[in-house]
Chain A
Amino acid sequence: MIITKDAIIIGGGIHGCSTALHLCLAGLKPVLIEKDYAGRHASGVNAGGVRQLARDVAEIPLSIRSMGIWENIADLVDDDCGFESHGQVLVAENEVELAAFRARVADLNARGFTHEELIDGAELRRLVPAVAESCPGGVVSRRDGAAQPARTTTAFRRKAQALGATIIEGVAAANVRKEDGLWRVDVGAETYAAPVLVNAAGAWAGRIAAALGEPVPVETIAPMLMITSPVAPFIDPVVILRGRKLSFKQFKNGTVLIGGGHLAMPYQDRNETVLDWRKLSESARTVSELFAVMRNATVVRAWAGIEARMRDDIPVFGPSAIHDGLYHQFGFSAHGFQLGPGAGAVMAELVVNGGTQTRIGGLSITRFSNPSPSPST
């Protein structure tokens, strides 16, 4: 049976669910197809960082757009998603790093971005009292924070469904093709058809793009996280490092989430990952050195989520370079969670209006096909 919809979205991560929700708000009736369940992979198991801090300039406008939605997230999805805004702090471990941060903030200011703010050692210790004395300063983005990723993705899915999106979970999208001017996707015994196709399939999106004639340099990664038993509250903001891989966040219940980008071995076709404990050991060492208070904590669980990383570490976002009605929204390279709400809003504008006021040019898929990438305008 062929079922015609306004749009087909492949992938039930935060991006696919957010796009489904925003298409519904624009009056469309999309179908979202998710091979496992919404939030099964990176969107449900990431660190939950809601971060504008330390982003590539090309994605800052999208990040800022998203931040505005995060700050009123309950108005959109009827759930506060556990979002808390205590800022995010990039800690400089030495003067060399601090000098680089100073130059970065100056550059952002020159471009008109003011969300990143250079701080000295005194302000760093006011924000993060437990940090090691040797750290001379850092950068803060005060509106940043963290949310609960699985809860958030689920809330977007639920609201999209309430607004009229068809959500199909547990069946993979197959045989993606364009026939008679419509995109068609087989889902079990049924075929969905729509003028619009959004490729938001995360680690699986590269295959879809390639099958449709748009191969891009993408790899599958599985960033690892671990969480500890409760520790007496000692830190409010999320802390990240630049030189060594670490991100660090304490929840209200005292548990501490430790991440930062060390990778597990992904077994994508089995939906499995094998953790690299030697790398997690490095994270544990870094934490012990920066926060002595953590040494007696116990690690209760570690995991990794499968996702896509682009060669240049920024996502593919926007219309296809070669097909009408095809849009890409993938390759968020381990920092896509915060972008989800805004990306869905912008994607709906692209689909419905054919354009957006949010500057996303630098994220276009054309950057991999054109000899000289178009500047981000």
Chain B
Amino acid sequence: MSAPKREQYAVVVIGAGPAGLAATASAAGAGLSTLLLDENAGPGGQVWRAISSTPVTREAVLGADYWSGAELATAARDSGAEIIHRATVWSLDRNLELGVSVGGGSAFIKAKRVIIATGALERPFPIPGWTLPGVMTAGAAQTMLKSSGLVPDGRTIIAGQGPLLWLLAAQILRLGGRIDRVLDTTPRANYMAALPHAFAFMTSPYVMKGLAMMREVRAKVPVVKGVTELAAAGDGKLASVSYVAGSKRETLPADLLLLHQGVVPNVNLAMAAGVEHRWNESQLCWTPVLDADGNSSVPGIAIAGDGAGIGGAQAAIWRGRIAARAAIAALAPAAVAKLDPIAALRTGLARAERGRAFLDVLFQPAPQFRIPKGDTIVCRCEEITAQDVLDSVAIGATGPNQLKAYRRTGMGPCQGRLCGLTVTELMAEARGKSPQEIGYYRLRAPVKPIMLSELAALPKSDEATKAVVRG
């Protein structure tokens, strides 16, 4: 992999998932100098991870939705855009300057427009024992499955809720992997609450696929519904999983526990660039403040895909196209005439988003799985428990940034990715405030760690370079 060829681009797209690939294909296709930067070895993002390299070649295993990514990846590749994989964007500021690391070296580039398409990450699932070896997220398991075809063969329990949980369970089973039990934590009250949105959902593309997948899993694995308590236990590594469902309380021996309760926008890069976010009461996470074209509060920065609010892969494609269209309209107005009319894009997006409200309500995780108690770990980097956070609140910590002074939460390498939402909601509950009032960590570059030697090897400042040239 080599560094970016130029110092300046019309459009820089960050992330090669559905939104980023779509935005890249549109922007470069309209003749704009476009750079796509992506952390992974190939295109696809999380949903289409390893689309051009997966060893899992039987189409039915990963499903038709997965393979639909190949077409878009090809379109982006052939669009004329410069595409760099294994590139880490570690800095982006409101002047649209990016720090990017490729192959052990870093460079700065400038953009006229930046489209952030860094997608989602899994919501923290802080139950007792969640930090034990043997407990991992469903997303991590899926990464291994897609990249390497690896599936669990020990005693395996999947717990949580949401579409990805069922998709992963189905994919593991299709590959001959072992699952002993599915523990469904969807709160029973959510089914009623979601009813008003059911009609839109029933006419959405999700419904048939979702139901088929759940049927497929249920046919092979016992599923426990209405799980209201969940704990992992073991001495040094996972040995058992306990749960409560209704009047039933059971402890199951286990070698592997896969946890998942939905995904939330990956906000770190956008927040570090100064993009305003607000608490989303229905998705229970931070989402950026955007206009209809995906433009953020920072001029020149747009956000597309799940980073703009969870919408799924199809919605991400439309959002990527819409954001790219806005960039094209601003930078190459003459090229707009050849594009799909904006109304068509918005109709496509609306169709893809149909049913999302139902999923948002149905899969809102229960409070006890978002806001832990007692000695359950909240911050893995510093091993801070829920009680530690409450103790700090009692002596004057008012929000996540003040908490850093007491507990160093959010100051480790993960920069709050694993604890941020938990800390906000926990402190909000303790102080009787809304998450919006409590706020979030102020995030800082480098958004991903960078080697000191790599930083030291950066090209010297403009003034220093000029001084050398003159000398």
Q: Give A contacts to B, CB under 8 Å.
A: 37, 39-40, 44, 148, 150-151, 153-154, 157-158, 161, 169, 227-229, 270, 272, 274-275, 277-282, 284-285, 287-288, 294-303
- Chain B residues within 8 Å of A154, by CB: 396-397, 402, 405-406
Query: At the interface, yes or no: B445 with Cβ under 8 Å from chain A?
Result: yes
User: B108: which A residues are within 8 A, CB to CB?
Assistant: 277-278
> Contacts of A158 on B, CB cut-off 8 Å?
395-396
Instruction: State whether B94 touches A274 (Cβ < 8 A).
Output: yes
The distance from the CB of A145 to the nearest CB of chain B, in whole angstroms, is 18
Q: Is B228 an interface residue (CB 8 A)?
A: no
Tell me the minimal C-beta distance from B66 to chain A in angstroms. 34
Q: Which of A272, A277, A303 contacts B99 (CB 8 A)?
A: A277
Residues of B within 8 A of A227 (CB): 411
For the complex formed, measure the closest distance between the CB of B299 and the CB atoms of chain A, giving whole angstroms: 13
Closest A residue to B408 by beta carbon equals A253
A-B contact count (CB 8 A): 106
Q: Which residues in window 405-426 of B have CB below 8 A to A?
A: 405-406, 411-413, 415
Residues of chain A within 8 A of B292, CB atoms compared: none
Assess whether B132 is interfacial by the CB under 8 Å rule.
Answer: no
Residues on the B chain within 8 Å of A37, using CB:
398-399, 401-402
Q: Can you report 7 A-B residue pairs in the complex whose CB atoms are below 8 A from each other?
A: A151-B405, A158-B396, A277-B445, A281-B460, A281-B461, A288-B453, A301-B445
Q: Which chain A residue lies CB-closest to B465?
A: A278
CB of A307, distance to nearest CB on chain B (Å)? 17
Which residue of A40, A272, A277, A278 has the most chain B CB atoms within 10 A of its CB atom? A277
**Other-chain contact of A288, B99, B456, B464 (Cβ < 8 Å):** B456
Task: Determine chain B's interface SS by DSSP, over half rule.
Answer: loop
CB closest residue in chain A, given B274: A272
Contact of B446 with A by CB under 8 A: yes
Shortest distance in angstroms between A301's beta carbon and chain B's nearest beta carbon? 5
In the complex, which of the residues B395, B398, B449 has the most CB atoms of chain A within 10 Å of its own CB atom?
A: B449
B452 touches A (CB below 8 Å): yes
Known: A272-B274, A274-B95, A281-B458. A299 touches B452 (CB 8 A): yes
Nearest CB of chain A from residue B151's CB, rounded to whole Å? 33
* In contact, B456 and A287 (Cβ under 8 angstroms): yes
A342 CB to closest chain B CB (Å) equals 22
Contact, CB under 8 Å: B398 / A295: no
B444 contacts A229, C-beta separation under 8 Å? no
Q: In this assembly, does B6 line the interface, its C-beta being within 8 Å of a C-beta of chain A?
A: no
- Apart from A277-B99, A281-B458, 7 more pairs, CB < 8 Å: A154-B396, A158-B396, A279-B461, A282-B460, A284-B455, A287-B456, A300-B412
- B462 in contact (CB, < 8 A): yes
Q: A154-B396, A288-B456, A302-B445 are in contact. Are A39 and B450 (CB under 8 A)?
A: no
Q: Which of B274, B401, B458 contacts A277 (CB 8 A)?
A: B458
Is A303 in contact with B444, judged by CB distance below 8 angstroms?
Answer: yes
B446 touches A295 (CB 8 A): no
Q: Nearest Cβ distance between residue B347 and chain A, in whole angstroms?
A: 37
> Which of B406, B411, B452, B461 is close to A294, meaning CB atoms less than 8 Å apart?
B452
B93 within 8 A of A: yes
Cross-chain contact A277 with B402 (CB below 8 angstroms): no
B93 and A278 contact, CB distance less than 8 A: no
A197 to B444 alpha-carbon distance, docked (Å): 35
- Given known A151-B405, A274-B93, contact A298–B460 (CB-CB < 8 A): no
A228 touching B452, Cβ below 8 Å: yes
Please determine whether A301 and B452 come into contact, CB atoms closer than 8 angstroms.
Answer: no
Contact A44 B94 (CB under 8 A): no
Q: Which range holds the interface residue count of chain B?
A: 35 or more
Asked if residues B452 and A297 are in contact (CB atoms below 8 Å), the reply is yes
B388 to chain A, nearest CB (A): 14
CA of A83 to CA of B92, assembled, Å: 35
| B453 pairs with A295, CB closer than 8 A | yes
In the complex, what residues of B have CB within 8 A of residue A288's CB?
Answer: 452-453, 456
A284 touches B415 (CB 8 A): no
Contact A299:B444 (CB < 8 A) given known A154-B405, A229-B413, A278-B461? no
Interface residues of B, Cβ cutoff 8 Å to A: 91, 93-95, 99, 108, 274, 395-399, 401-402, 404-406, 411-413, 415, 444-446, 449-453, 455-456, 458-462, 464
Q: In the docked arrangement, what's the CA distance between A222 and B414, Å?
A: 25
Q: How far is the CB of A156 from chain B (nearest CB, A)?
A: 11
State A44–B401 Cα separation when bound (angstroms). 10
B residues less than 8 Å from A277 (CB atoms): 91, 99, 108, 445, 455, 458
A151 touches B406 (CB 8 A): yes
Chain B nearest Cβ from A196, distance in angstroms: 25
Specify which of A39, A161, A281, A296 lies most central, judged by the most chain B CB atoms within 10 Å of its CB. A281
What is the CA–CA distance of A277 and B447 in the complex, to the nearest angstrom? Answer: 13
Closest to A297 in B: B452
Q: Could you say which residues of chain A place their CB within 8 Å of the CB of B397?
A: 154
Which 4 residue pairs of A and B lie closest in terms of their CB atoms, listed nearest first? A150-B405, A278-B461, A284-B456, A298-B449
Docked Cα-Cα span, A318 to B94, in Å, equals 39
Expressed in whole angstroms, the Cα–Cα distance for A48 and B427 within the complex equals 27
Q: Is A301 in contact with B453, judged by CB distance below 8 angstroms?
A: no
Residues of A within 8 A of B450 (CB): 298-299
Is A281 in contact with B95, judged by CB distance below 8 angstroms? no
Decide if A39 touches B405 in the complex (CB within 8 Å). yes
Q: Say how far B433's CB is from chain A's closest CB, in angstroms.
A: 12
A229 vs B404: C-alpha distance when bound (angstroms): 17
Query: Which residues of A lie under 8 Å from residue B396 when comparing CB positions?
Result: 154, 157-158, 161
Closest to B447 in A: A301
A281-B456 contact given A154-B396, A299-B450, CB 8 Å threshold: yes
Q: Looking at B274, B397, B399, B455, which has the most chain A CB atoms within 10 Å of its CB?
A: B455
Whether A302 contacts B461 in the complex (CB less than 8 A), given A151-B406, A296-B451, comes out as: no
A318 to B41 CA separation, bound complex (whole angstroms): 61
Q: Is the CB of A301 within 8 A of B405?
A: no
What residues on B are CB-neighbors of A281 within 8 Å? 455-456, 458, 460-461
- B453: which A residues are within 8 A, CB to CB? 284, 288, 295-296
With A154-B406, A157-B396, A302-B446 already in contact, the answer to whether A275 and B91 are too (CB < 8 A) is yes
Q: Is the CB of B415 within 8 A of A301?
A: yes
Q: How far is the CA of A295 from the CA of B456 in the complex (A)?
A: 9
The CA-CA distance from A114 to B100 in the complex, in Å, is 49
A299–B456 CB distance below 8 A: no
A44 touches B395 (CB 8 A): no
Q: Chain A nearest CB: distance from B452 CB in Å?
A: 5
CB neighbours (8 Å) of B401 from chain A are: 37, 40
**Nearest CB of B to A281, in Å:** 4
Q: Is the CB of B449 within 8 A of A299?
A: yes
Complexed CA–CA distance, A206 and B401 (Å)? 26
Expressed in whole angstroms, the Cα–Cα distance for A217 and B81 within the complex equals 50
Tell me how far the C-beta of A351 lies from the nearest C-beta in chain B, rounded to whole angstroms.
Answer: 25
Contact among B405, B445, B449, B460 for A44, CB-based, below 8 A: B405
Q: Chain A's nearest CB lies how many Å from the CB of B87?
A: 16
Report the nearest A residue to B455, measured CB to CB. A284
Q: Say whether A298 contacts B451, CB under 8 Å.
A: yes
